[in-house]
């Protein structure tokens, strides 16, 4: 058995690069003109986006009769995609906040990117409720302002909690992201060659000057923000799970939903972050900053959260039987062996079985293998929402109104468009802002901190 | 590969009088328990479940803490790891306290009565699970699994004191990784068995997680109490405190929040959906003066420890940390009392000499256990490769 | 005046250990107005510089608590006081269901405002006119060097001593930083034309968008063919018919279902002769007649049909129904009066169905009988 030396701390950044090279490396994509590959990628994502926009335009023109929603299944792709994308966002906050609280230094290389993904994913997710309500410009009624009806929103509706949770989550993530960006923007300001860049960076870096009198408060605020973001991220997906769980529909009303949804969200989010980072580290030559060790740790987290999701599946199944309630028992048997059995087993195998391959160290560290598994995880997590929403609705209490739900091409087009939307933002992000936190990476390079002898 | 690092550690014996205190408490408690079983066997049996689940919390929770340290590669807790290791020794004696219950199942569990299944569709469905034979088999299996993993982890850890082999750490990491999923299921199912099935109609998918949150808090609080007491008296090595205390406090703080989150989720979903087969469990705890116990739980288990642990100094100051840990340990017993006793006494709170006897007994038992085992092994895992990093740990 | 004044002396160090050492030495000397600039936060710098622990945690605690309390109070006022609405059988003030929103508001206020407080009150940013900006020193400390800047306004500041102190600490690039009096003392004027112009633009834009949203967008119909169906809409014209009316007259002679036409207009005698009360004087019919009589007839004729109504004196007094004339009228004659009216009595055909009219007649007969009972009635 080969043994790692446990008495030594592993370096987070490989090869002890000089600090100045970090500046150069990370600001390189911003200083250079986008190359051909960038345009090819952008055209692909824009095509996807436009497909989605066209499908949406059709939907707005002809109405949601174009979707697959039918009578018992009133909630179709819109809510599935909403939950999926909100979930993707969760990994970003987990990496930037929870791992920060746990003092995991390896997060520094990936935190900025994951936070960016959080923001874009929440933006993508936010589109779906807007589409689904039919008249997006009336969304203002969801906020408690003294309107002409002198009526207040229904504060005990989980859908209203969603409004508060998602908008708070978006705002706080944005602030968290921006706070982290300020020192990096100041670095870019000092490096700026052209006047316009200098002005723009000066405005957005707010005149940051690397003062240690500032760093002191800054670090404390970062800790506080992480402390707030952690319960916030839990609350967001918890509230999303309440959308289902407060009802009395079998298969939805389950007390384990809150932690189970959170675990699932982190799970799929990590898979997405890992997928994108595999490209980023290759294209921008960040292999020594986003090391294989980092990816391996992400895979371990996927293994853990995937197993948590598996625990929830099994508990739900057991309790559905243990409860003795016939409808509960039926719903779960129907899920696994009913008409949507294909979806259930895609979900189960992608979320629970394939990630177990990460027990093997070789697979954990093999980039193509982990890429494939993470893609499967995202497929599985999308299907998890599909299974939860569709199977419970399509066969509820009244057998005479059972119906089979089938998505239409428009549904699929909108789903594709959401991916296009998300990845377009990601691509623009890589060219507009430093995708790795300069200050944080510098702080964890070996030898960048005073040694204890200096005390 | 061996660990080259050597540490100056002089083992100090725990004071003799501790053993006497432990023995006295143990005997007083034992007398009360035996007397209780003669006078009021039903009530005593219910209290016995509190004792049993508390010891499971302590033992299995400590084992979980050890496993998570290995798997996560944490270093700050390594210097103290012996404390949870000794506490998880409780797992070996837990089965003894299940024995009186096995003879009293009829007094405690409604589902042991055949008429409970008559004319009751919901109950008929669970007959294959809720029956005495399977119940006892499950309990024995869970105890066996926990003891098995405890012995594996404990043996390797103690062996490392002498051999200083890094391979043992690696072995323990693998054992821990295997243990964690098994732990998740065994703990959940034993919580279903001992706690949830007290009200056999009631079910909640989150219940295992709820009990797990309490378990970890219990183990953490008990470990922290012992760590702070021993460290302040210098039983460990130099250089511990401050940031180490902070980490313990922060972990407790995190789990206080986690417990509140899980408890709230369970309550809100049942309250909101208002299904008769679920709500009765909470309604029972809202009847008569149980209402005050239920409201008290929020304060005892969440509000007070939350604000007590919120600020950074309170996590670092040994005195405050000690106080909060004792509080949290009490809160876990309070939680168990709240889960178990309303099934026995539906009308209102009961509290008497039987209820006092069990904690005295437990305390005495744990003190004796700790003194006994700490005689045989070092209080610091001196052969652990992570020890140096653990002592040097700075936030 | 474009006088340059000394702001500070700066020195550059190459390693983190050196800068920690330097910070300690400078703090020990008793300097107050100095600063250390590093590209990233250094562990232990707080202690070396002898800074007090950051108090910003208390700011967010206060903000968080006030956010929580105000959220709970607002929800309580809105749902349990201002507009009470039973939803899902839950109490007006459903505390457990308010926890999610309260929590979100708490986090929002505590985190976002804390950041604003830190940036704009603690750090007094944005500040791009600080003397250290646009210097070589800033370029270096932003990248890979660690710098010290001892300010000239420190009470202990002495140019030569500071220089030698920095030299003794092995600092390189010891340079003075100058600043422009005007630049640093520049006061932001609130009514600067540019700023006012900007505000006006913002105001115009927001009011225009608000107007558009509230008055146009809100009433825009996204698709409207459900409204434009090829069907006749009541009260609307229609091009299909020559006369342009959407609503059509029924065919002549059409009788609505269940309706018996009244053929005795202006012909009371015929009516008296032909019409026979179809109802039997059962209890139900009399009850119905009493009810209708009390509603429609009693205001003028009085509850006992004696003409002693509540409206006496306001109109020509209505006649008593106990008169010889009325008693001798046939049922059909009374029916005619109710249907067609008499003198100033209007027609009650719209208020009373034929059946109800007959019932009323039954009741009138009963009333008449009560004042003129026959001997046989007593038996």
Residue-wise pLDDT for A273-288, tens only, equals 999 999 998 988 888 8
Which two three-digit tokens encode residue C95? 């505390």
Residue-wise pLDDT for A422-446, tens only, equals 999 999 999 999 999 999 999 988 8
Over its C-alpha atoms, chain C yields an Rg (Å, rounded) of 49
Which phi and psi angles does C176 have, rounded to 5°?
-80, 150
- Neighbour tally for C115: CB within 10 Å: 22
Confidence (pLDDT) at B241? 81
Which two three-digit tokens encode residue A130? 């807007």
String of DSSP letters for B165-196: BHHHHHHHHHHHHHHHHHHHHHHHHHHHHHTG
Average pLDDT for B285-291: 90
Q: How far is B179 from B336, CA to CA, in rounded Å?
A: 25
String of DSSP letters for B69-95: HHHHT--TTGGGTHHHHHHTTHHHHHH
Which phi and psi angles does B355 have, rounded to 5°?
-65, -30
Q: How far is A267 from C48, CA to CA, in rounded Å?
A: 42
Q: How far off is chain A from B28, nearest CA to CA, in Å?
A: 41
Q: Which of residues 34-73 of C touch A (CB under 8 A)?
A: 35-46, 49, 51, 54, 56-57, 60
- The long-range contacts involving B174-177, CB below 8 angstroms and separated by at least 24 positions, are B175/B67, B175/B70, B175/B149, B176/B66, B176/B67, B176/B68, B176/B70, B176/B71, B177/A359, B177/B67, B177/B71
Size of interface A-C (CB pairs under 8 A): 210
Contact B83, B223 (CB under 8 A): yes
Average pLDDT for B167-180: 92
Average pLDDT for A134-149: 78
Q: What is the DSSP letter of C345?
A: B
Query: Percentages helix, strand, coil for chain A, rounded to the nearest 5?
Result: 75, 0, 25
Residue-wise pLDDT for C303-329, tens only, equals 888 877 777 777 777 778 888 888 888
CA distances from residue A215 to A78, A242, B64, B259, B289 in whole angstroms, order as listed: 44, 40, 37, 34, 53
Average pLDDT for A197-212: 90
Q: How far off is chain B from C66, nearest CA to CA, in Å?
A: 16
Which two three-digit tokens encode residue B56? 């499971």
Which two three-digit tokens encode residue B50? 């509190």
Which two three-digit tokens encode residue B222? 């008990």
**In sequence order, what are the beta bridge partners of C37?**
A211, C147
* Pick from A325, A335, A380: nearest CA to A355: A380
Which range, of A372-376, B251-255, B312-316, averages the lowest pLDDT?
Answer: B312-316
Evaluate if residue A1 carries a pLDDT over 60.
no
Confidence (pLDDT) at C379? 65
A203 contact C CB<8A: yes
- Neighbour tally for C313: CB within 10 Å: 7
Q: Does the beta-carbon distance from A255 to B206 stay under 8 Å?
A: yes
Confidence (pLDDT) at B125? 85
State the Cα angle at B203 between B201 and B204, rounded to 5°: 165
Contact residues on chain B for A231, CB-CB shorter than 8 A: 257, 261
Q: How far is B65 from A366, CA to CA, in rounded Å?
A: 30
Average pLDDT for A400-404: 91
Confidence (pLDDT) at B339? 93
pLDDT over 90 for what percent of chain B?
Answer: 59
Q: A77-93 and A212-245 are packed helices; what angle lies between their axes, rounded to 10 degrees?
A: 150
Which range, of A132-146, B162-176, C103-117, averages the lowest pLDDT?
Answer: A132-146
Evaluate if residue C2 carries a pLDDT over 70.
no
Average pLDDT, chain B: 90
Which two three-digit tokens encode residue C325? 């004339």
Contact residues on chain B for C99, CB-CB shorter than 8 A: 264, 268
Confidence (pLDDT) at B265? 94
Average pLDDT for B144-165: 92
Identify whether A207 is preceded by a cis peptide bond (ω within 30 of 0).
no
Residue-wise pLDDT for B62-92, tens only, equals 999 999 999 988 888 999 999 999 999 999 9
Q: How far off is chain C from B124, nearest CA to CA, in Å?
A: 32
Residue-wise pLDDT for B109-148, tens only, equals 988 888 888 888 888 888 889 989 999 999 999 999 999 9
Evaluate if residue C111 carries a pLDDT over 80.
yes
Which two three-digit tokens encode residue B345? 């006494």
String of DSSP letters for B9-26: ----PPPHHHHHHHHHHH
Model confidence at C1, pLDDT cuts 50, 70, 90, reads: very low
Quick one: which H or E segment has residue B143? helix B132-163
Confidence (pLDDT) at A330? 92
Interacting residues of B137 by C-beta distance below 8 A, sequence separation 6+: none
Average pLDDT for B82-104: 91
Q: Which residue has the higher pLDDT, C349 or B225?
A: B225
Q: How far is B205 from A315, CA to CA, in rounded Å?
A: 6
Evaluate if residue C190 carries a pLDDT over 80.
no
Of A135, A207, A447, the CB nearest to C127: A207
pLDDT over 90 for what percent of chain C?
Answer: 20
Contact residues on chain B for C96, CB-CB shorter than 8 A: 264, 267-268, 271-272
Q: Does the beta-carbon distance from B207 to A255 stay under 8 Å?
A: yes
Average pLDDT, chain A: 90
Confidence (pLDDT) at A454? 44
Confidence (pLDDT) at B6? 66
* Pick from A298, A250, A248: nearest CA to A276: A298
Q: What is the DSSP letter of C14?
A: S
CA distances from residue B44 to A68, B41, B55 in whole angstroms, order as listed: 60, 5, 16
Of C43, C57, C96, the CB nearest to B267: C96
Of C19, C37, C125, the CB nearest to A207: C125
Confidence (pLDDT) at A452? 61
Q: How far is C365 from C363, CA to CA, in rounded Å?
A: 5
Q: Does the beta-carbon distance from A315 to B184 stay under 8 Å?
A: no
Residue-wise pLDDT for A72-127, tens only, equals 898 889 999 999 999 999 888 888 888 888 888 888 888 999 999 999 999 999 99
CA atoms within 13 A on the CB side of A178: 16
**In sequence order, what are the beta bridge partners of C172?**
C12
Q: How far is C81 from C71, CA to CA, in rounded Å?
A: 15
Average pLDDT for C242-260: 82
Contact B300, B334 (CB under 8 A): yes
Confidence (pLDDT) at C189? 64
Confidence (pLDDT) at A371? 95
Confidence (pLDDT) at C226? 65
Confidence (pLDDT) at A455? 47
Interacting residues of B88 by C-beta distance below 8 A, sequence separation 6+: B58, B59, B60, B62, B63, B66, B150, B154
Confidence (pLDDT) at C335? 87
- How much is the pTM? 0.85
Contact residues on chain B for A316, CB-CB shorter than 8 A: 205
Size of interface B-C (CB pairs under 8 A): 15
Average pLDDT for B269-281: 91
Confidence (pLDDT) at B52? 93
């Amino acid at each position: 058995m080969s043994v790692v030396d446990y008495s030594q701390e592993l370096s987070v950044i490989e090869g002890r690069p000089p600090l100045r090279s970090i500046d150069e490396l990370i600001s390189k994509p911003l200083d250079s003109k986008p190359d051909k590959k960038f345009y090819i990628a952008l055209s692909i994502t824009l095509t996807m986006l436009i497909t989605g926009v066209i499908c949406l335009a059709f939907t707005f023109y002809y109405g949601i009769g174009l979707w697959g929603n039918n009578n018992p299944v009133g909630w179709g792709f819109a809510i599935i995609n909403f939950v999926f994308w909100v979930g993707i966002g969760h990994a970003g906050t987990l990496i930037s906040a929870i791992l920060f609280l746990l003092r995991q230094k390896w997060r520094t290389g990936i935190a900025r990117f994951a936070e960016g993904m959080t923001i874009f994913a929440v933006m993508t997710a936010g589109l779906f409720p807007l589409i689904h309500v039919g008249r997006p410009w009336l969304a203002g009624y969801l906020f408690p302002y003294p309107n002409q009806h002198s009526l207040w929103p229904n504060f005990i509706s989980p859908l209203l909690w969603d409004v508060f949770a998602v908008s708070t989550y978006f705002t706080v993530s944005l602030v968290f992201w921006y706070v982290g960006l300020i020192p990096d923007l100041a670095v870019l300001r000092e490096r700026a060659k052209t006047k316009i860049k200098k002005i723009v960076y000066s405005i957005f870096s707010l005149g940051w000057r690397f003062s240690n009198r500032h760093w002191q408060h800054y670090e404390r605020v970062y800790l506080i923000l992480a402390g707030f973001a952690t319960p916030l991220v839990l609350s967001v997906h918890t509230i999303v799970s309440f959308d289902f769980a407060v009802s009395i529909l079998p298969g939805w009303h389950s007390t384990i939903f809150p932690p189970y949804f959170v675990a699932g969200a982190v799970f799929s989010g990590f898979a997405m972050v890992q997928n994108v980072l595999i490209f980023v580290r290759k294209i921008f030559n960040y292999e020594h900053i986003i090391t294989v060790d980092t990816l391996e740790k992400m895979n371990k987290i996927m293994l853990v959260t995937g197993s948590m999701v598996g625990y929830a599946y099994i508990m739900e199944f057991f309790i559905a039987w243990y409860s003795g309630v016939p409808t509960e028992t039926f719903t779960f048997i129907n899920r696994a062996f009913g008409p949507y059995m294909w979806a259930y087993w895609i979900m189960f195998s992608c979320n629970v079985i394939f990630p177990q391959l990460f027990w093997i160290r070789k697979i954990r560290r093999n980039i193509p293998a982990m890429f494939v598994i993470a893609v499967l995880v995202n497929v599985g997590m999308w299907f998890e929402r599909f299974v939860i929403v569709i199977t419970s609705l399509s066969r509820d209490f009244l057998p005479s109104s059972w119906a089979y739900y089938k998505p239409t091409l428009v549904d699929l087009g909108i789903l594709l468009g959401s991916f296009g939307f998300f990845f377009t933002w990601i691509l623009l992000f890589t060219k507009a802002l430093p995708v790795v936190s300069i200050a944080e990476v510098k702080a964890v390079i070996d030898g960048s901190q005073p040694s204890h002898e200096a005390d | 590969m061996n660990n080259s690092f050597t540490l100056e550690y002089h083992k100090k014996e725990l004071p003799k009088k501790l053993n006497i205190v432990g023995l006295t408490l143990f005997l007083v408690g034992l007398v009360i328990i035996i007397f209780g079983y003669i006078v009021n066997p039903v009530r005593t049996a219910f209290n016995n479940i509190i004792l049993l689940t508390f010891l499971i919390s302590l033992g299995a929770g400590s084992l979980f803490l050890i496993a998570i340290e290995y798997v996560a590669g944490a270093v700050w807790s390594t210097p103290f790891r012996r404390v949870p290791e000794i506490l998880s020794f409780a797992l070996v004696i837990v089965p003894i306290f299940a024995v009186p219950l096995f003879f009293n199942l009829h007094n405690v569990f409604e589902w042991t009565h055949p008429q409970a299944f008559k004319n009751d569709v919901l109950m008929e469905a669970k007959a294959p699970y809720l029956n005495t034979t399977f119940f006892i088999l499950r309990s024995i299996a869970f105890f066996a699994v926990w003891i098995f993993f405890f012995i594996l982890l404990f043996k390797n850890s103690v062996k490392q004191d002498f051999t200083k082999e890094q391979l043992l750490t690696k072995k323990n990491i693998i054992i821990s990784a295997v243990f964690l999923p098994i732990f998740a299921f065994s703990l959940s199912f034993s919580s279903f068995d001992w706690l949830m099935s007290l009200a056999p109609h009631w079910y909640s998918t989150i219940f295992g997680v709820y009990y797990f949150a309490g378990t970890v808090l219990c183990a953490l609080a008990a470990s922290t109490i012992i760590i702070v007491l021993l460290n302040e008296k210098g039983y460990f090595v130099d250089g511990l405190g401050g940031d180490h205390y902070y980490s313990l406090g922060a972990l407790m703080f995190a789990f206080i929040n986690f417990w509140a989150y899980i408890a709230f989720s369970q309550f809100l979903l049942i309250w909101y959906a208002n299904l008769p087969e679920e709500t009765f469990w909470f309604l029972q705890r809202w009847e008569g003066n149980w209402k005050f116990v239920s409201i008290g739980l929020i304060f005892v288990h969440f509000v007070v420890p939350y604000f007590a642990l919120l600020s950074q100094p309170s996590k670092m100051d040994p005195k405050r940390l000690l106080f909060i840990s004792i509080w949290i340990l009490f809160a876990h017993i309070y939680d168990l009392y709240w889960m178990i006793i309303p099934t026995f006494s539906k009308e209102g709170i009961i509290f008497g000499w039987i209820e006092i006897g069990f904690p005295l007994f437990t305390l005495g038992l744990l003190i004796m256990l700790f003194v006994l085992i700490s005689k045989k092994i070092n209080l610091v895992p001196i052969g652990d490769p992570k020890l140096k990093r653990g002592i040097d740990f700075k936030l | 005046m474009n006088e340059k004044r000394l702001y500070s002396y700066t020195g550059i160090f190459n390693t983190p250990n050196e800068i920690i050492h330097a910070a300690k030495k400078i703090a020990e000397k008793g300097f107050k107005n100095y600063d250390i600039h590093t590209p990233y936060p250094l562990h232990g710098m707080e202690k070396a510089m002898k800074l007090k622990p950051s108090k910003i945690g208390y700011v967010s605690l206060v903000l968080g608590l006030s956010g929580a309390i105000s959220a709970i109070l607002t929800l309580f006022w809105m749902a349990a006081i201002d507009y009470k609405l039973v939803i899902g059988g839950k109490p007006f003030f459903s505390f457990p269901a308010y926890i999610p929103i309260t929590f979100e508001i708490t986090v929002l206020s505590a985190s976002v405002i804390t950041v604003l407080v830190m940036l704009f009150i603690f750090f007094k940013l944005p500040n791009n006119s600080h003397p250290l900006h646009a210097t070589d020193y800033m370029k270096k400390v932003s990248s890979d060097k660690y710098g010290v800047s001892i300010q000239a306004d420190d009470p202990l500041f002495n140019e030569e001593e500071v220089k030698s102190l920095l030299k003794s600490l092995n600092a390189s690039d010891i340079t003075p930083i100058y600043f422009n009096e005007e630049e640093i003392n520049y006061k932001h004027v609130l009514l600067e034309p540019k700023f006012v112009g900007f505000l006006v633009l913002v105001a115009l834009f927001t009011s225009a968008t608000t107007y558009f949203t509230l008055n146009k967008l809100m009433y825009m119909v996204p698709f409207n063919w459900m409204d434009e169906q090829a069907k006749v809409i009541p009260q609307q014209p229609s091009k299909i018919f020559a006369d342009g009316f959407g609503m059509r007259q029924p065919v002549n002679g059409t009788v609505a279902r269940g309706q018996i036409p009244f053929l005795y207009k202006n012909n009371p005698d015929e009516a008296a002769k032909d019409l026979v009360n179809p109802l039997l004087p059962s209890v139900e019919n009399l009850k119905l007649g009493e009810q209708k009589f009390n509603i429609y007839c009693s205001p003028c004729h009085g509850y006992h049909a004696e003409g002693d109504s509540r409206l006496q004196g306001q109109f020509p007094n209505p006649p008593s129904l106990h008169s010889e004339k009325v008693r001798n009228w046939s049922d059909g004659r009374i029916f005619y009066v109710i249907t067609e009216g008499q003198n100033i009595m209007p027609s009650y055909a719209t208020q009373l169905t034929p059946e109800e009219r007959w019932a009323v007649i039954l009741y009138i007969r009963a009333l008449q009988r009560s004042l003129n009972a026959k001997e046989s009635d007593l038996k």
